[in-house]
A = this chain, B = another copy of it.
């Protein structure tokens, strides 16, 4: 990945931006941030297979918002939706769970869907694509330790098939962008999100599930459960920071690059549980639960962190929300939701 190339830099106040896979955690937060930044128009594209109308319900009355139901597998949908767009944020993808449950659809969306979107952008002369990739391009298992820098390899030994499929599909998606840049001068920035968490996180989603579960146990007065010895590393990034990274990528002149988008610092599961307990003002002690033999977990090979220095250098972005603040925001949102549910009963 070459560094420091100059391409299209969008002025958001006069830009029209389409978000593919918009009815989602990252999509809805990015749409909000674009509206706050004075965007001219934002098109929210989703096929609503996983995305929900509720995730974007609070945005739909803004006159600058247009919701389009369309499918990545239908190129005509994308040709119509990208017409007149200056930028496209491509979020839509199947993740590990999707590759386990429906590998045909996952291959469709993550590869052909990405190709269709790039082709539509080329045809409609879209100025810049921001492609959502993942730290899954570094893989899993014993090889994951130390600093996961942008030119690092993909580790797969011992990982589940679906996780490897997901990571490799993101590696391919990045390279499809690169080919469109090389062949058609379509500017792009790849953002490799680390584990995204934040308000409006789907309650079933794996990302912040552990935070939520811990919180629920503590609220019920039960000791939180700490898998293994609590030293597992996680590197989260708050969804509000991710939204700002997306904006920064559109605004900057950077092109033909892939950068990490991670939170200020990594955290161990032990520290995470401690933060939830502190938030709740609880004196409970975590219960250490060794993994039963044969457990498959996507663990790392030791302490690791995902540097975001390159994103700072190339798109002028850095994360602002530390884990303590992020957890407080997430749990305050969760509490408000529970209070509302109670009221409704």
Binding site for B on A (CB under 8 A): 1, 100, 103-104, 107, 111-112, 115, 139, 143, 151-158, 161-162, 164-165, 168-169, 171-172, 175-176, 178-179, 182
Whether A155 contacts B156 in the complex (CB less than 8 A), given A103-B176, A162-B179, A175-B164, comes out as no
In the bound complex, residues from chain B placing their C-beta under 8 Å from that of A165 are 172, 175-176, 179
User: Across the interface, do B151 and A157 meet the contact criterion of CB distance under 8 Å?
Assistant: yes
Q: Which residue of B lies closest to A170 (CB)?
A: B168
* SS class, residues of chain A in contact with chain B: helix
Task: Please measure, in the bound complex, the distance between the C-alpha atom of A104 and the C-alpha atom of B183, giving whole angstroms.
Answer: 14
Please give me the 3 A-B residue pairs with the lowest Cβ-Cβ distance, nearest first.
A151-B157, A153-B153, A154-B154
**A158 proximity list for chain B (CB < 8 A):** 151
Q: With both chains docked as a complex, state the minimum distance between the C-beta of A207 and any C-beta of chain B, in angstroms.
A: 22
Assess whether A107 is in contact with B103, with CB atoms less than 8 Å apart.
no
A139 to chain B: closest residue by CB: B153
Q: List 12 A-B contacts (CB under 8 A).
A: A100-B179, A103-B176, A107-B111, A107-B112, A153-B153, A154-B156, A156-B171, A161-B179, A162-B175, A164-B172, A164-B175, A165-B175
* Contact, CB under 8 Å: B143 / A115: no
- Which chain B residue shows the least CB distance to A169? B172
Provide the residues of chain B in CB contact with A103, threshold 8 Å. Answer: 115, 176, 179
Residue among A162, A165, A178 with the highest chain B CB neighbour number at 10 A: A165
With both chains docked as a complex, state the minimum distance between the C-beta of A201 and any C-beta of chain B, in angstroms: 28
